[in-house]
């Protein structure tokens, strides 16, 4: 399954400037998700981080990974129209390389463990074939 930006907006509430997923290129519920974030020189955060050597803030890479994880959790737990889902936190996060304007983040999400109302996913962000960030992220649901 693939999702364009309009379909993504139906799932997660984020909007400009905080919607950090451009498209989902592969989604197999309970197996994997691959999402894309195109990092452009026009990103608002590059004005101050850092003016002379622009670097995408690590917290925003993690946020993009969490948004991809939300989409994966939504489909893997079959939450369409049934529940609200929440990002609870990161279990671990490691940064390996900077992300700069012109890079394309490929975010991969897989299941570590799903229980009835919670789940832990493994996320990895790549630029090309280079791993730049990895994290374990925890999600939960609440009946709407």
> Which residues form the catalytic set?
49
User: Within its chain, how far is the Cα of 117 from the centroid?
Assistant: 20
The count of other CB atoms within 10 Å of the CB of residue 132 is 21
**CA-based nearest residue to 107, from 123, 85, 86, 88:** 123
């Amino acid at each position: 399954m693939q999702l364009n930006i309009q379909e993504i907006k139906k799932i997660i509430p984020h909007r400009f400037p905080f919607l950090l997923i451009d498209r989902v290129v592969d989604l197999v519920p309970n197996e994997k998700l691959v999402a894309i974030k195109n990092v452009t020189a026009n990103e608002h955060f590059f004005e101050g981080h850092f003016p002379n050597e622009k670097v995408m803030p690590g917290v925003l890479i993690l946020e993009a990974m969490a948004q991809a994880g939300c989409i994966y959790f939504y489909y893997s737990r079959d939450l369409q129209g049934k529940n609200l889902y929440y990002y609870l936190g990161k279990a671990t996060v490691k940064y390996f390389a900077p992300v700069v304007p012109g890079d394309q983040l490929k975010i991969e999400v897989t299941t570590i463990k799903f229980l009835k109302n919670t789940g832990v996913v493994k996320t990895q962000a790549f630029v090309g074939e280079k791993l730049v960030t990895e994290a374990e992220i925890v999600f939960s649901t609440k009946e709407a």
